[in-house]
Amino acid sequence: MCAAGTLLRDVFGFDSFRPGQEEIVEAVVRGENVLAIMPTGGGKSLCFQLPALVRDGVTVVISPLIALMRDQVRALREAGVEAGALTSGNTDEENAAVWDAVETGRLKLLYIAPERLSSGAALGMLRRIGVGLIAVDEAHCVSQWGHDFRPDYLRIGDLRRALNVPLAAFTATADAETRDEIVNRLFDGQVPNTFLHGFDRPNIHLAFAAKDSPRRQILDFAAARKGQSGIVYCGTRAKTESIAAALGQDGHLAIHYHGGMDPEARRSAETRFQQEDGMVVVATVAFGMGIDKPDIRWVAHADLPKSIEAYYQEIGRAGRDGAPAETLTLFGPDDIRLRRSQIDEGLAPPERRVADHARLNALLGLAEALRCRRQSLLEYFGETNVSCGNCDLCDTPADVFDGTTAVRKALSAALRTGEWFGSGHLIDILLGNETDKVRERGHDTLPTFGVGQEYSRRQWQVIFRQMMGRDLLRPDPDRHGGLRMTDDALPLLKGEATIELRQDSIRKADRRPAAKTLVNEEDAPLLSALKAKRRALAEAARVPAYVIFNDRTLIEMAEKRPCSVDEMARIGGVGAKKLASYGDAFLEIINGEAEKMHPTRRKLAGREAGSLYDELLAVQADLARGPKGTDKPLSCSASLLAKVASLRPKDQASLNQLLGEKRADRFGAAFLDVLREAS
């Protein structure tokens, strides 16, 4: 196995690379300039952390968020990697520890905040310490037109030139404009080796639901996932507070978060969410950037997000660890009206507004989709041939009907009343309701009056919602939200096109859905016990729980139930350092007691040398008193056996060298047999 593969397993505890990681790691190890575009949760950090261990010198990592840097450094140190951060938030001791590691040449990764680059001292320091690679996280922060622009990122180009070392840049933002800006500003226009990786996040389940009683819908969704970390996104600050309170009453550990809170309160909410297990935060979109919690198990939208990009980014905060995560996005006619009016009333120039409507349409199209949501979502990002099986419409196909006639009737009601009215009044006309408003305006004499009695009021509401969602009717802000027909509806009106609509997608929830678990019923109690242990260890070490082991690792432990240190080493996420620190504690939970094992043998856990060691030990025991059982007892020390198992000498001569003549005489032939068998 290559050096990178060995490190992947031994240090990071992963069996295999995620899609795309290996090529990126190889290019960075070779010292090429690299630009890698990977979706959130795709595993970008590994793509510079692993090469940092393979390459000579220090890897400087530039990252915009101090909290994230500190988390990564903590996680690396847990895995036994020498890493440090220089940030304005450091204590003197922390700074001293970093310098000490630098001076003694032990430091492999040095995280620095971009602000530091503005001081001349930083450059001098970086020159002295022998930097071999620059890694830039969130590279889109160099884009002056993006929403995350960081002026200090513009200094990174100078740094690269001054140090004259390769640079690897990472981002989740894929659009071509941003990419060009990164190439210009970080690489002086020399196109680096570029990797563009898929946007699919297959472990995230996608679901939308029309608003019925939205508060109840959110509370039910959360109730089925009690004890799991989640985010509820709301459209208003007031709603974050009321839903958080309701969740609290339902027995959740829930807090609210919005831009109106003072910075101190916001920071403390972020820290608590990051650190505490199973917490729910109810937030406006102000919450998210700066949250790097890999074990968020669900994201719910109590209101429709503002665009398909925002939706993708917000749900993407769930399930970064790769374990299953769930989402639910609620939407209704009011959301559509609100989002449209925000665009229309905003200050953006007209072309921009047209583009914003299109991005909202893309999201509404997703909300009203008739087939697989993942395919619609990824199609928007330019990906085809997507397989799914993990969205509500793959679970239960939509119940569709030919809505052409219904849509024509609705359009006609709108047109004959001058496109001045909202859906409520139009539905009254279609149903033939003689309300005051209908009579006053003489709408009871229209040919459309009463032509829609085959549907109930509720069904018409569903039809109008879908017409708005598919942008056939748009509320006009200049007409107090009166619905106007769009050009897209013309072919339908003229009889040149047909349209499929969904039956009422509002299903009455019979009762609270059963709790969802991450593992099957049988393994659930063990998983809770493992989580409790993890929480205790995390609290003692004052780190977030996932720094000990992430959810995915605990799920695998609960399912595979390793009963030896060797088996434990094969669980994804259990590297050598973590095995040494926590292996026994978790084995004890699984098996009632920890395995007793010689420390030397323990170091070989999970490797082929481990099983070789066991076989050598067995043949040695057979020969302890010689072939006839009459000689003086003789044995090799554990460390000698470990050497034989690791170095795998091929002949008697090398065994002589390793073991000395006396022992080589007694055990040599038998050992060589064992080694030959194994190769």
- The least distance separating ligand ADP from the CB of residue 533, rounded to whole angstroms, comes to 19
Neighbour order of strands in the sheet with 193-196: 83-86, 109-112, 58-62, 131-136, 167-171, 34-37, 193-196
Q: Measured from the CB of residue 69, what is the shortest distance to ligand ADP in angstroms?
A: 12
Q: Which stretch in 118-126, 173-181, 320-328, 465-473 sits in contact with ligand ADP by CB under 6 A?
A: 320-328
Cα–Cα nearest to 405, from 339, 493, 341, 464: 493
* CA pair distance 505, 335, nearest whole angstrom: 17
Nearer to ligand ADP, 555 or 642 (CB): 555
Burial 537-561 (b: 16+ CB within 10 A, else e): bbeeeebbbbbbbbbbbbbbbbeee
Closest distance to ligand ADP from the beta carbon of 501 (Å): 38
Enter the tokens of residue 520: 């099957």
**Residue 235 partner contact from ligand ADP, Zn ion, none using kind-dependent CB cut-offs of 5 to 8 Å:** none
Binding mask 575-614 for Zn ion (x = CB under 5 A): ----------------------------------------
Residue 409 interacts, among Zn ion, ligand ADP, none and using kind-specific CB cut-offs from 5 to 8 Å, with none
Choice from 82, 321, 368, 392 touching ligand ADP (CB under 6 A): 321
374 contact choice in ligand ADP, Zn ion, none (CB below 5 to 8 Å, kind-dependent): Zn ion
Q: How far is the CB of 360 from Zn ion (least distance, A)?
A: 22
Alpha-carbon radius of gyration of the chain? 31
Q: Interface with ligand ADP by CB under 6 A: which range of 43-51, 154-162, 201-209, 641-649?
A: 43-51
**Is residue 472 part of the contact set for Zn ion (CB under 5 A)?**
no
CB of 377 to Zn ion, least distance (A): 9
- 8 Å CB contact between 598 and 566: no
Confirm or reject binding of residue 370 to Zn ion (CB under 5 A): no
**E strands, 438-580, in order:** 473-476, 482-485, 500-502
Whole-number Cα distances in Å, 674 to 1, 310, 617? 22, 59, 11
Site map (CB under 6 A) of ligand ADP, residues 552-591, x = contact: --------------------x-------------------
Asked if 285 is part of the footprint of Zn ion (rule: CB under 5 A), the reply reads: no
Q: At 562, phi and psi to the nearest 5?
A: -60, 140
Query: Could you tell me how many residues of this chain bind ligand ADP (CB under 6 A)?
Result: 18
How many whole angstroms from its chain centre is CA 323?
9
Residues belonging to the chain = 679
CB 116 to ligand ADP: min, Å: 21
d(C-alpha 120, C-alpha 478), whole Å? 56
**How far is CA 243 from each of CA 153, 215, 473, 515, rounded to the nearest angstrom?**
38, 7, 32, 20
Does residue number 388 form part of the binding site for Zn ion (CB under 5 A)? yes
Stretch of residues binding Zn ion (CB under 5 A), selected from 112-120, 166-174, 382-390, 512-520: 382-390
CB of 474 to Zn ion, least distance (A): 28
Residues with Cβ within 8 Å of 487's Cβ and at least 6 positions away in sequence, in order, are none
Q: Is the dihedral of CA 575, 579, 582, 583 positive or negative?
A: positive
Stretch touching Zn ion by CB under 5 A, among 25-33, 72-80, 104-112, 393-401: 393-401
Residue with smallest beta-carbon separation from Zn ion: 388
Burial status of residue 121 (CB atoms within 10 A of its CB: 0-12, 13-18, 19 or more): exposed
Q: How far apart are CA 414 and CA 428, in angstroms?
A: 12
Interface with ligand ADP, residue 544, by CB under 6 A: no
Task: Show the binding pattern over residues 285-304: x = contacts ligand ADP (CB under 6 A), - = does not.
Answer: ---------x----------
Part in contact with Zn ion (CB under 5 A); list of ranges 121-129, 257-265, 362-370, 383-391: 383-391
Chain Cα centroid distance, residue 73: 19
- The nearer residue to ligand ADP, 18 or 570, going by C-beta atoms, is 18
In the structure encoding, which two tokens stand for residue 614, read together? Answer: 């066991």
Q: Which is nearer to Zn ion, 284 or 327 (CB)?
A: 327
Q: How far apart are CA 630 and CA 280, in angstroms?
A: 70
Spell out the SS3 assignment of 202-261. Answer: CCEEECEEECCCHHHHHHHHHHCCCCCCEEEECCCHHHHHHHHHHHHHCCCCEEEECCCC
The interface partner of residue 42, options being Zn ion, ligand ADP, none and the CB cut-off 5 to 8 Å by kind, is: ligand ADP
Tokens of 208: 């939308």
Residue 322 in contact with ligand ADP, rule: CB under 6 A: yes
> Does 201 help bind Zn ion (rule: CB under 5 A)?
no
The tokens describing 544, both together, are 């977030």
The one of ligand ADP, Zn ion, none whose footprint includes residue 675, by CB under 5 to 8 A per kind, is none
Instruction: Out of 338, 394, 585, 619, name the contact with Zn ion by CB under 5 A.
Output: 394
| Closer residue to ligand ADP (CB): 79 or 672 | 79
Judged by CB, which is closer to Zn ion: 500, or 673?
500
Instruction: Please report how close the Cβ of residue 312 comes to ligand ADP at its closest, in angstroms.
Output: 13
- List the single partner that 391 binds among Zn ion, ligand ADP, none, CB under 5 to 8 Å by kind: Zn ion
391 binds Zn ion (CB under 5 A): yes
Report residue 234: phi and psi, to 5°.
-125, 155
CB 317 within 8 A of CB 231: yes
* Pairwise CA distance, residues 574 & 554, whole Å: 10
CA–centroid distance for 413 within its chain: 46
The verdict on 606 binding ligand ADP (CB under 6 A) reads: no
Sole window of 314-322, 510-518, 583-591, 640-648 interacting with ligand ADP (rule: CB under 6 A): 314-322
Q: What's the closest the beta carbon of residue 478 comes to ligand ADP, in angstroms?
A: 43
C-alpha pair distances (Å), 659 with each of 199, 623, 677: 55, 15, 20
Only one of the segments 11-19, 392-400, 432-440, 581-589 lies at the binding site for ligand ADP (rule: CB under 6 A); that segment is 11-19
Q: Which of ligand ADP, Zn ion, none interacts with 34 (beta carbon under 5 to 8 A by kind)?
A: none
How many other C-beta atoms can be found within 10 angstroms of the C-beta atom of residue 342?
13
Task: Name the amino acid, one letter, at 535.
Answer: R
The one of Zn ion, ligand ADP, none whose footprint includes residue 460, by CB under 5 to 8 A per kind, is none
Q: How far is the CB of 108 from ligand ADP (least distance, A)?
A: 17
CB of 202 to Zn ion, least distance (A): 10
Residues in touch with Zn ion (CB under 5 A): 372, 374, 388, 391, 394
Residues in touch with ligand ADP (CB under 6 A): 14, 17-18, 21, 38, 40-46, 294, 320-322, 550, 572
